Structure 1
């Protein structure tokens, strides 16, 4: 099965890769650690959840489990 390279549209309408999604997850985790209240007010948890779901779904599509 071919590896899925980009399937998710970000807020600006561009596709991103699993690696880019993982990078955004790390950035959001750091923002949450710095200021949890502001993170929640800005909808960070929803963004984080959507990225987690994307990475999990991508693992199913490409048959790998290397994504964290």
Structure 2
């Protein structure tokens, strides 16, 4: 979660984290492999991966870093 914390804590007006990062997935969940023309954009999140616990963590971090709607 270090990259997510760094991004959320930055001065950037907008920060986007992919679900793969929230789910702490590895290379098997990459969306795009530069230089490889096939097999890109095929990853799909598995049913049940977005748990209430994860949603609470995302909301908590969003609030902590002041990134809720104003």
Q: TM-score, normalised by structure 1?
A: 0.35
Q: Looking at CA atoms only, which structure, 1 or 2, has the larger radius of gyration?
A: 2
Structure having the larger proportion of residues in helix: 1
